[in-house]
Structure 1
Amino acid sequence: VKDGVVEKMFIEPNKPGDPFEVSDADTMLSYIAPNAVKLEPVSIITKPGCPYCAKAKALLQHKGFKYEEIVMGQGATLTTLKAISGRDTVPQVFIGGKHIGGSDDLEAYFAE
């Protein structure tokens, strides 16, 4: 709606299955702000009390990234960490499905 006039309606198709095929957030954002930068999804594997984890999370926040945090000992184990990242240290950061690495690797990623 712009100045009281409906410019675009996101009408759902009448299909079985996912009713939000048309008006998901990405579709609406693409219409409303086609030049908007879409941030990649970010996941970070951490453990409580880790200063490098805190540093990596602060850097992500500073760069405007929201992230999903997976905390070691709360459903994630060292076996999981090694299987996913090939490493046994934290943090391990993934952006857009790509393994970035630890805190220093994240700094280098943003420096490029």
Structure 2
Amino acid sequence: MVMDKHICPFGLKSLDLLKRKGYAVEDHHLTSKEATEAFKREHAVDTTPQTFIDGRRIGGYDDVRRYFGKRVAEPGAVSYQPVIVLFAISALMALAAAWVASGDALSARTFEWFIAFSMCALAMQKLRDVEAFSTMFLGYDLLARRWVPYARLYPFGEALAGVLMIAGIGAWIAIPIATVIGSIGAASVFYAVYIQRRELRCACVGGDSNVPLGFVSLTENLMMIIAAAWWGMRLLHR
């Protein structure tokens, strides 16, 4: 579909993939809704674009990827990619910040900032849609089940603690928040996954997450506990 107000992104992706595979492509533009509907009726298909190779209909963009043996993500499929990307970028940010601040990319401050940046990034994912997050969170968090508003407050607390840890201020606020929400979260995940043996989606990266509840969410909560304990010990030794 190539119209004044819409160019089909999957058409562009299909065209690019075919060309990268060495095919000479004859590209037929559907320039109106009427032309699009007529094409669908003619070929008995529900979507466009449609790719034909040597007269044989291959299908839409996902079908073209399958034709070339490329991976296609299935709707609702479990994926750890969002979490891997989030932690990787947080680690790089911590390294960069530590280098700018002290000229030493690998230091105790790098570790602190990695946890704090990760907390802020995870909080942002949850805050994209607080209602969706709270709905999923209520499925397993022990405190939220008893006091529902906690499900909405959790990401704000995580963000606040993370920001204060980055700035190195407000320890009397950040340490208790991180300790409490981290401890309750860890206990909730451990109980739901390892005792009840429930198969749930993790709300750690938002309410639309396809990350399974378990190691990732447990790690998130343990990181908060460790960060709070680390900061507390540093204050005691000053």
Is 1:60 paired with 2:26?
Answer: no
Give the one of 78, 87, 93 matched to 2:36.
78
For residues 19-34 of structure 1, what are the structure 2 equivalents within 5 Å? none
Give the one of 59, 62, 65 matched to 1:104.
62
Q: Secondary structure at the match of 1:66?
A: coil
Distance 1:84 1:93, change over 3 A: farther
Q: TM-score, normalised by structure 2?
A: 0.25
Tell me how far apart the structure 2 counterparts of residues 109 and 53 of structure 1 sit (CA, whole Å). 16
Is 1:47 paired with 2:2?
Answer: yes
Tell me how far apart the structure 2 counterparts of residues 108 and 84 of structure 1 sit (CA, whole Å). 24
Rg larger for? 2
Residue identity in the other structure for 1:55: K
Tell me how far apart the structure 1 counterparts of residues 46 and 2 of structure 2 sit (CA, whole Å). 12
**Number of aligned pairs?**
66
Residue identity in the other structure for 1:66: A
Tell me how far apart the structure 1 counterparts of residues 54 and 8 of structure 2 sit (CA, whole Å). 24
More moved, 77-86 vs 94-103: 77-86
Tell me how far apart the structure 2 counterparts of residues 106 and 87 of structure 1 sit (CA, whole Å). 15
Q: TM-score, normalised by structure 1?
A: 0.51
Tell me how far apart the structure 2 counterparts of residues 110 and 84 of structure 1 sit (CA, whole Å). 26
Report which of the two has the higher share of strand: 1
Q: Secondary structure at the match of 1:70?
A: coil
Q: How far apart are residue 51 of structure 1 and its match?
A: 0.9
Percent sequence identity is 35
Report which of the two has the higher share of helix: 2
Tell me how far apart the structure 1 counterparts of residues 38 and 65 of structure 2 sit (CA, whole Å). 24
More moved, 62-71 vs 83-92: 83-92
Segments of structure 2 that go 5 or more residues without pairing to the other structure are 71-238
Tell me how far apart the structure 2 counterparts of residues 47 and 92 of structure 1 sit (CA, whole Å). 14
Kindly report the root-mean-square deviation, in angstroms, between the aligned alpha carbons of the 2 structures. Answer: 2.1
Segments of structure 1 that go 5 or more residues without pairing to the other structure are 1-45
State the Cα deviation string for residues 55-79 of structure 1 (Å, max 9, x = none).
Answer: 10010010000111111127x8124
